[in-house]
Amino acid sequence: MPLRPALSCALLVTATVMGPSADHQPGAAKAPVLGWRMVPVLAVNGLQFKDLNKNARLDPYEDWREPTEKRVNDLVGQMTLEEKAGFMVSPTLPMGPEGALVEKTESLDGAFGRSMQLGTSDAVIAKHIRQFIVRVNTPPRTMATWLNRVQEVAERSRLGIPAFFVTNPRNHLGSAGIVGIDEAGAGFSQWPGTLGLAATRDAALVEEFAQIAAQEYVSVGLRGAYHPQADLATEPRWARISGTLGEDADLASDMLRAMVRGFQGATLGPTSVALIVKHFPGGGPAIEGQDSHFAYGKYDVYPGGNFDYHVRPFKAAIDAGAAVIMPYYSIPQGITKEQVGNAFNREIITDLLRGTLGFTGVVNSDSGVTTNMVWGVEDLTVEQRYRKAIEAGTDIFSNDSTPEYVVNLVRKGEVPESRIDESVRRMLRIRFALGIFENPYADPEHAVRTVNNAEFRKKALTAQRKSIVVLANGKNILPLKAGTKVYLEGVDPGAVAADGLIAVATPAEADVCLVRLTRAGRPGEAGGRGRGAGGGAGGLNTGGVPIDLTFSAEALARLRPLMEIKPTVTVVYMDRPYVIPEIARDSAALVAHFGVTDQALLDVVTGAFAPVGRMPFELPSSMEAVRAQKEDVPHDSPNPLFAFGHGLTYPARTPR
């Protein structure tokens, strides 16, 4: 049924149009379910169509029977320059209490510097913007209700073009809600981090994860995803490794293909989420691990001559049908003649991405490339940066809200309007394919039933279990037997009884100590289930100080007395490859995870579930070894503590 509340003033209008052509007779195309609230509906030969431009006749772009290219060309032909320019920016949209629209426009200081936060009507009606980043975390009903209200505003506009909402990841344990990197999941089903998905080595499971995440996104109205990361974790110090699929190009490529299949389907359609794969051509080889959000980390470097290796996962994603590619801020040092950030680099976007790799979709810049992360174009004005990026092949600017720069460039004759049309056509092809012109609305009650339902939670728990890696198991202390007395730090004592363990109050009473540990936190501190990207070693902003991947002396000092008293099973959250030789040496057993619940962990350490995870990167033996590695080369740590692919197992115990 159409989603029309009682307040809707939608009308059913009989269109006075010529009859459909022979290949468009009723039944030639399956009628989609229409969703409308603010526009009339046209009846043509027993079929219904939304009159998005309110002219009482059926235009080709409104006719769901027409080929996509015809619809795209018709709509572009009706759009003003200002409406086209609005397509080329993608700001963050604010939400009011309980899903209310925010209509106040104000200047705010944010993660990407000072920017204008637009009120909804200013953004949608005055500036004609149609892509928005959704960063808020709300219950599913609230999110669906809010995004529907934004769609109502869009539907009232001159051409009735729907909004397109994108999000950073929401389905991974360990997320910390870092703006521009991930969003804490709130009520979404919680799976291991992407490193954990790679550790499962199970492409079918990863595809199922993506299918489930897509169902959750679509149910609340989210149709685009600022993920997955196709970057390779070849530089252990880089803070964004937690969002990758590890250091190996073949493994990452397999997982990326599965993600594209799961999120997008065989082709884009009404149940798809369009992926924005990032960060082309690979942000992993960051100079000394410093991130290119900051000037001291603005270069990606290739001392091993391994540039092509980092492009391979993107090729896999493109071949699988990825809809959108996002370039990173970095300058690829020594790779291109012009040393500018990737969003401004014609050799990277037009020559390599579009020419060599054959990508025909949308290029979506990372946030803040015109105002903050302006590497190589620092001396240009904001308007000149827009021009350079557009000429390089960039189609849309994340976290920007200033389409007037695009209008000015065209009016002055510095950028032809035909170039803007190219970008708008690319975006419209995706949005027509997704079906949002027919029905952009979400059903809040369906969202409540879908997001984090019992079936999804069960499947996510299985994935968590499969992602856990047993690194060492001295004297076969694992699996812990039923009745074992366990002293816990970082694990909920209430969780152990179901697995037959007995929680005790002190190490002296215990047979074994079980400790969950993060690099940044003491044993037992909040965050023991995982922290966000780079949270364990200084985050993204290091101030340019050399990055240390060893554990703090304080954390080790708290852990060592436990090890001296009783055999200790140490469980380490690996959001990047940490240097832990002392922990490995002194632990009775060592377990790595990438974001799991206590339940999943206990199921593995007690043998209720046999461990199968394998490391998605190698663990270096020292900081000297880290510094000896080449930023762009995988598997090159001298004498690694644990090699890529390492992982122990043991049989699952017989169920009680």
Alpha-helical segments (H) within 290-443: 307-320, 346, 382-392, 404-411, 417-434
- d(CA 324, CA 647) in angstroms, rounded, equals 35
Asked if residue 304 lies in contact with residue 633, where contact means CB atoms within 8 angstroms, the answer is yes
* Residue type for position 528: G
Lookup result for tokens 């099973």: 569
Q: Which of 213, 236, 235 is nearest to 226 (CA)?
A: 213
| Active-site option among 254, 300, 366, 443 | 366
Asked if residue 469 lies in contact with residue 199, where contact means CB atoms within 8 angstroms, the answer is yes
Render 82-95 in DSSP notation, one character per residue.
Answer: HHHHHTTEEPBPPB
511 is a catalytic site residue: no
- d(CA 378, CA 617) in angstroms, rounded, equals 36
Strands 362-363 and 469-473, by their bridges, are unpaired
Helix, strand and coil percent figures for the chain, each rounded to 5: 35, 15, 50
Tokens of 389: 């990026």
Q: To which H or E segment does residue 113 belong?
A: strand 113-117
Asked if residue 488 lies in contact with residue 463, where contact means CB atoms within 8 angstroms, the answer is no
Lookup result for tokens 């200084």: 538
Q: To which H or E segment does residue 50 belong?
A: strand 47-50
Q: Identify any residues that bridge with 225 across adjacent strands, giving them in sequence order.
A: 167, 275
Asked if residue 307 lies in contact with residue 234, where contact means CB atoms within 8 angstroms, the answer is no
Using DSSP, state whether 133 is helix, strand or coil: strand
Angle CA 536–541–546, to nearest 5: 75
* Residue type for position 116: M
Dihedral over alpha carbons 422, 423, 426, 431 (to 10 degrees) = -130
Tokens of 356: 């060599």
- d(CA 525, CA 522) in angstroms, rounded, equals 5
Tokens of 285: 């080889």
Q: How far apart are the first and last CA of the chain?
A: 49
Lookup result for tokens 């490339």: 369
- d(CA 610, CA 601) in angstroms, rounded, equals 11
DSSP state of 503: E
- d(CA 119, CA 573) in angstroms, rounded, equals 40
Q: Which of 311, 343, 200 is nearest to 259 (CA)?
A: 200
Strands 485-489 and 502-504, by their bridges, are parallel
Residues contacting residue 322 through CB under 8 Å, at least 6 positions apart: 260, 264, 275, 277, 361
Q: Which residues are catalytic?
A: 366
